[in-house]
Amino acid sequence: MSKLTDRISFLKGMAAGMKLNMDKDSNKLMLEMLTVMGEMAEEMAAMTEAHNDLNEYVESIDDDLAELEETLFGEDEMDGEDIDIDGEDDDEDEFGEDDLIVYACPHCGHEIEFHASDVDFDEDCLCPECQKPIFPELSEDE
């Protein structure tokens, strides 16, 4: 028994020892409250047991998942780092001002290298080979 059910049993024993007269409304109320508290304690004990069962189940799932991760990815890769699913470095997804960009001209295929900070989208950027706009979708004549 839990400490709560022990205390409720003690209170019920005290009430029985007092030989409360059931004709008085206050005594009826007190005895009914003790009955309700007993039912609440039983319900809490059942919920605690269900919680403990669920906790064991979640721990079992966690252990199974850890075993699966070790099988799939190996022990070396599971040191707290993010798993790289797409094979690309996620830190390089956004361009910094000094990042080098290689872009092929859509007209002649000439590869042009420039820094992200050098691009001015307000002006037409022309290919040094064919002298056509390298970003045609941004030019105003189309």
Please report where in the chains the tokens 């820094």 appear, as a residue. 115
Per-residue pLDDT tens listing for the chain (142 residues): 579 889 999 999 998 898 888 888 888 899 999 999 999 999 999 999 999 999 999 999 999 999 999 988 876 555 555 556 666 555 554 555 557 788 888 889 888 887 777 777 777 788 889 988 887 765 455 4
Compute the distance between CA of residue 23 and CA of residue 12 in angstroms, rounded to an integer.
18
Compute the distance between CA of residue 72 and CA of residue 58 in angstroms, rounded to an integer.
21
Q: How far apart are the first and last CA of the chain?
A: 83
Strands (E), 75-115: 100-104, 111-115
pTM to 2 decimal places: 0.44
